[in-house]
Amino acid sequence: MTDPFEPWVTMKDVQEHLGARRETITQWIGKRNMPAYKVGRQWKFKLSEIDEWVRSGGAAETDVTRQKEEGADA
């Protein structure tokens, strides 16, 4: 469960936390249900939710995932 006092972080914070590019994170939000919240024009995150998403395999790349993202199954 998320700590109600955990601070919201920015896209840049998540990029640094995961060592991933902005484009990759944006794709994960759209295609892999990465937990993110749109506040105005900015994305906001809770690092505890991001960590849980990663632990549950959300960021894992499988052959099926790669094919879908590249459009190979179309």
Q: What is the predicted pLDDT for the residue at 73? A: 47
Is the pLDDT assigned to residue 74 strictly greater than 60?
A: no
Predicted structure pTM score: 0.77
Look at residue 18 and tell me whether its pLDDT is greater than 80. yes
Give the pLDDT confidence score for residue 1 in this predicted structure. Answer: 60
- Domain ranges within the chain, ordered by starting residue: 11-70
Local structure of residue 32 (DSSP, 8 states): S
User: Looking at residues 17-26, what average pLDDT do you find?
Assistant: 96
DSSP code of residue 57: T
Query: Which of 64 and 17 is assigned the larger pLDDT?
Result: 17
Work out the pLDDT band at 55, boundaries 50, 70, 90: very high
In the numeric block, which tokens belong to residue 35? Answer: 């937990």
Q: Distance between CA atoms of 39 and 36, rounded to whole angstroms?
A: 10
